[in-house]
Amino acid sequence: MEVMKHFRMSTSTLNSDYVKSGGFGPVVDDGYALGYMVYDSYMGVVAISKPQNGVDAELFADTVNDVWNNMKTCVEGAKLSSK
């Protein structure tokens, strides 16, 4: 396997006036993927992995959720401090 052709983390923006949700998948069997969308009134993320070849899909989802909650706390704190 060539390391430069083996991308374990794939990301893609899903922003579109015509798409309110979407999907995006890993490009290698032991990979992870994050699809994300950012709009004026909300943000969303889709976390995907294949639970094989040493990939811990549950840990990945839990970690993405933890990061998401930390970001939410930071944004809400910034809103409060700007008032």
Its pTM stands at 0.69
CA gap 51, 70 in Å, rounded = 25
- Counts of helices then strands in the chain (DSSP H, E): 1, 3
Residue-wise pLDDT for 28-42, tens only, equals 889 999 888 888 887
- What range defines the domain where residue 33 resides? 3-81
CA gap 3, 77 in Å, rounded = 41
Number of domains, the chain: 1
Q: Which residues of the chain have pLDDT under 50?
A: none
